[in-house]
């Protein structure tokens, strides 16, 4: 049992006890035989939820658009052309899938993300116990009406249970065709309470009202939207209803990580830090039907993020993060925490954006064997072990 004392949870210092990969209690004092970690007023948050990523694409270079696109199909055609002729992009695409997926997981872990909604097939590697973050497994998806066509989109929606999220790229563009996609989905019977629209750039006030009336949700990827289209959707009203979660898309078009995405969201809106935080914790968990995540409460997954005292999430950079745990197991954080954690647990020193950190040893060892690498992460040979 690991017990965190003096943890700032929602503005109040409290005690959080962790056992068997879940939160055992909040507010109860530690027992005599428990390992105790004093957070000394540092912020304790549930692990962040990235509501939209293409995990196999995050090692790719960010491509500058040839122009501002009107519709995503123009971008898809551009990428298909460039991946055949550009040397760096061709080489990146040739990296083995297992390596690409691992790098996508590490990208998320280093930014405090412990759960990711992957918008592609649920590749076998994502279900391995050693994958660094949790990947949503109970979901239905279609890429888009443009890629799938109407028949396959309807089939995907109909085979998705009502208590699973059904996720689709839609309204991804700024033209009338993009705006009409929401109404096409509605006419096809695909706009339902478990529908999550990704991007939604073209959604005007009428379309947003229809989305809300259907009790559906929006996954917002503002950096990717601005990069490709020079515009993004107005999320203010939907956010006030708890209908918006934030995703990163991938580094091919999006920002470096979810923390960068939050800073973009803060710059674009008048939302408070608390409201932005909800979009990557509580609201994201509800929209993705993840009842045991997004909160610090008894029975919730012990997926935790520790931040410096008083630091708002939308000002955090990944090197600021003090600790990330998945299922109560520490995977990344500050070295001064390492020795106080799980007995017998092995860790190595790494540097993230120039700052000394620890990483769980087996994860670092797997990364050291890859041909590709995570930018800003320097692996070292020093191995430590908790007492």
Q: What is the pLDDT of residue 384?
A: 54
- Residue 96, burial from CB neighbour count under 10 angstroms (0-12, 13-18, 19+): exposed
Say if 256 falls within a structural domain.
Answer: yes
Structural domain range at position 268: 49-287
Q: What is the pTM of this model?
A: 0.96
Say if 333 falls within a structural domain.
Answer: no
Tokens for 139, please give them: 């979901």
How wide is the angle at C-alpha 66 spanned by C-alphas 268 and 94, nearest 5°? 100
Q: Are 177 and 71 in contact (CB under 8 A)?
A: yes
Say if 10 falls within a structural domain.
Answer: no
The structure tokens 């690409």 sit at 100
Say if 189 falls within a structural domain.
Answer: yes
Give me the helix-helix angle, 97-110 and 361-368, nearest 10°: 140
Q: At 77, which CATH number?
A: 3.20.20.140
How wide is the angle at C-alpha 189 spanned by C-alphas 188 and 190, nearest 5°? 90
Say if 253 falls within a structural domain.
Answer: yes
Tell me the pairing of strands 166-170 and 244-246.
Answer: unpaired
Q: What is the pLDDT of residue 340?
A: 77
Say if 145 falls within a structural domain.
Answer: yes
Structural domains in the chain (count): 1
Q: Are 73 and 136 in contact (CB under 8 A)?
A: no
Q: What is the pLDDT of residue 387?
A: 46
Beta strands in 178-259 (DSSP E): 195-199, 217-220, 244-246
Say if 303 falls within a structural domain.
Answer: no
Across the 387 residues of the chain, what is the mean pLDDT of every consecutive 10-residue run? Answer: 94 94 95 91 98 95 88 92 83 90 98 98 91 98 96 98 98 97 98 98 98 98 97 97 97 96 96 97 98 98 98 97 96 90 83 96 95 91 54
Say if 70 falls within a structural domain.
Answer: yes
């Amino acid at each position: 049992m690991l017990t965190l004392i003096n943890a700032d949870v929602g503005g109040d210092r409290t005690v959080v006890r962790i056992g068997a990969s879940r939160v055992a209690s909040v507010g109860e004092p530690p027992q005599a035989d428990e390992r105790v970690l004093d957070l000394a007023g540092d912020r304790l948050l549930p692990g962040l939820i990235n509501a939209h990523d293409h995990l196999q694409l995050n090692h790719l270079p960010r491509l500058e658009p040839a122009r501002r696109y009107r519709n995503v199909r123009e971008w898809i055609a551009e990428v298909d052309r460039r991946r055949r002729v550009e040397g760096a992009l061709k080489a990146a695409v040739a990296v083995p899938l297992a390596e690409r997926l691992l790098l996508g997981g590490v990208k998320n872990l280093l930014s405090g993300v412990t759960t990711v909604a992957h918008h592609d097939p649920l590749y076998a590697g994502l279900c391995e116990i050693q994958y660094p973050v949790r990947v949503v497994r109970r979901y239905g998806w279609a890429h888009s009406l443009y890629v799938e066509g109407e028949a396959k989109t309807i089939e995907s929606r109909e085979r998705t249970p009502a208590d699973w999220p059904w996720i689709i790229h839609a309204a991804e563009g700024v033209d009338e065709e993009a705006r009409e996609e929401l109404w096409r989905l509605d006419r096809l019977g695909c706009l339902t309470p478990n529908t999550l629209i990704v991007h939604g750039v073209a959604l005007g006030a009428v379309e947003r009202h229809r989305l809300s009336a259907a009790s559906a949700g929006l996954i917002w990827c503002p950096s990717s939207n601005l990069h490709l289209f020079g515009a993004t959707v107005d999320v203010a009203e939907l956010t006030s209803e708890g209908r918006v979660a934030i995703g990163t898309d991938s580094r091919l078009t999006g920002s470096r990580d979810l923390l960068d995405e939050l800073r973009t969201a803060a710059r674009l809106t008048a939302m408070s830090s608390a409201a932005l935080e909800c979009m990557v914790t509580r609201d994201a968990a509800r929209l993705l039907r993840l009842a045991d995540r997004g909160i610090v409460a008894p029975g919730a997954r012990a997926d935790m993020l520790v931040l410096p005292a008083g630091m708002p999430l939308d000002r955090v950079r990944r090197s600021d993060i003090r600790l990330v745990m998945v299922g109560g197991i520490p995977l990344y954080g500050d070295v001064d925490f390492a020795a106080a954690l799980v007995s017998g647990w092995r860790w190595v020193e790494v540097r993230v954006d120039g700052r000394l950190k620890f990483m769980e040893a087996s994860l670092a060892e797997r990364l050291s064997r890859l041909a590709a690498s995570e930018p800003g992460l320097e692996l070292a040979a020093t191995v430590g072990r908790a007492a």
